[in-house]
């Protein structure tokens, strides 16, 4: 897993960007401003790392954020209070499979120690083949025996099944 230093200038830019724009225009699972900030921050950190321009205010992006390995990639971020481990999962809501992205870049933002980790990447087809599926309403148990009910059809994959991000 790759750790990336989070530049304060990217945090400040992203705060302003989310304050002035609504990035939750999909209709479902749009996220409040906090979730939009975490998602846009992850996208901007990856954009900066790849040498791209930072995101600008716009409408729906078609479901992809950056070009990676010559393909449209959707950057996904989990906000946590711990460092990610190989057995931690990343998820994609099933309805998002219809979007234009060909692969996913999974990231983790640790808000306790303010670190950003790129957990890895995987193409959409391999993701579907290796992910666990949870039907809407199904109980999804965590390793500590707590659970939540899936709010939508949901796919999850562990970090150990991802490719190394370069």
What proportions of the chain, in percent to the nearest 5, are helix, strand and coil?
30, 30, 40
Residue 71 confidence (pLDDT) above 90: yes
Residue 77 confidence (pLDDT) above 90: yes
Rounded to two decimals, the pTM is 0.88
pLDDT value of residue 18: 85
Which tokens hold the place of 17? 């960007």
pLDDT value of residue 166: 83
The residues facing 102 across adjacent strands are: none
**Cα(75)–Cα(104) distance, integer angstroms:** 6
Tell me the C-alpha to C-alpha distance, in Å, between residue 61 and each of 65, 108, 149, 162, 163: 7, 21, 28, 24, 25
* pLDDT interval class at 84 (50, 70, 90): very high
Given a contact cutoff of 8 angstroms between Cβ atoms, the answer to whether 109 and 141 are in contact is no
What is the number of residues in the chain? 166
> Of the candidates 18, 2, 110, which has an alpha carbon nearest to the alpha carbon of residue 50?
2
pLDDT digits (tens, 9 = 90+) for 91-149: 998 888 888 899 999 999 998 888 999 999 999 999 999 999 999 999 888 878 888 88
Dihedral over Cα of 12, 13, 14, 15: its sign: positive
Given a contact cutoff of 8 angstroms between Cβ atoms, the answer to whether 78 and 84 are in contact is yes
**Cα(98)–Cα(78) distance, integer angstroms:** 21
**Cα(38)–Cα(111) distance, integer angstroms:** 10
pLDDT digits (tens, 9 = 90+) for 8-66: 999 999 999 888 876 665 455 555 667 888 889 999 999 999 999 998 877 667 788 99
pLDDT value of residue 36: 84
**Cα(166)–Cα(96) distance, integer angstroms:** 25
pLDDT value of residue 164: 94
């Amino acid at each position: 897993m790759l750790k990336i230093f989070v530049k304060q200038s990217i945090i400040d830019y992203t705060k302003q960007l989310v304050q002035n724009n609504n990035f939750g225009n999909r209709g479902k699972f749009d996220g409040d401003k906090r979730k939009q900030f975490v998602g846009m921050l992850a996208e901007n950190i990856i954009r900066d790392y790849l040498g791209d321009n930072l995101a600008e205010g716009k409408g729906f992006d078609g479901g992809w954020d950056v070009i990676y390995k010559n393909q449209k990639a959707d950057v996904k971020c989990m906000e946590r209070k711990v460092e990610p481990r190989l057995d931690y999962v990343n998820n994609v809501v099933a309805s998002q499979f219809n979007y234009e992205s060909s692969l996913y870049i999974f990231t983790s933002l640790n808000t306790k120690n303010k670190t950003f980790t790129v957990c890895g990447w995987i193409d959409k087809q391999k993701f579907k083949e290796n992910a666990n599926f949870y039907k809407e309403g199904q109980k999804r148990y965590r390793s500590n025996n707590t659970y939540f009910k899936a709010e939508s059809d949901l796919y999850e994959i562990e970090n150990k099944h991802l490719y190394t991000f370069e």
